[in-house]
Amino acid sequence: MYGGYYRKLSKKVQEVLAEANVVADECLSTMTTVKAHAAEASAEHDYGERLRAFTHLQLKEAAAYGLYAFTTILMPNSVAAMSLFYVRCPRARDFVG
């Protein structure tokens, strides 16, 4: 479940970044034409839109990884630590109730 979602999200991130690179490459390769038609603002807007989409997807990817790390690393270790605390600490039963 998680692996499929993360794989699709990673692929989409790569696609969006590739689109941004295409916009930048087209603009740089035709710089004289862009300047001649005063289209710098348009090219900058297009590239900015692609980068915003890339940033949005990167944030989703980071949140997905954070949730994965929490559920597979932090939560099981916390349960183990609480169990050890409860077993080893003579007054732990007072905290639990």
Domain annotation covers residue 97:
no
Q: At 64, which helix (H) or strand (E)?
A: helix 40-69
Please give the residue range of the domain that contains residue 45: 2-92
Looking at the structure of the chain, the number of domains it has is: 1
Q: What is the pLDDT of residue 64?
A: 92
Domain annotation covers residue 58:
yes
Q: What is d(CA 19, CA 17) in angstroms, rounded to the nearest whole number? A: 5
71 contacts 41 by C-beta, under 8 angstroms: no
Domain annotation covers residue 24:
yes
Work out the burial of residue 53: count CB atoms within 10 Å of its CB; fewer than 13 is exposed, 13-18 middle, 19 or more buried: middle
Q: What is the pLDDT of residue 95?
A: 61
State the pLDDT confidence band at 72, using cuts at 50, 70 and 90. confident
Which of 33-37, 38-42, 53-57, 78-82 is modeled with the greatest confidence? 53-57
Domain annotation covers residue 27:
yes
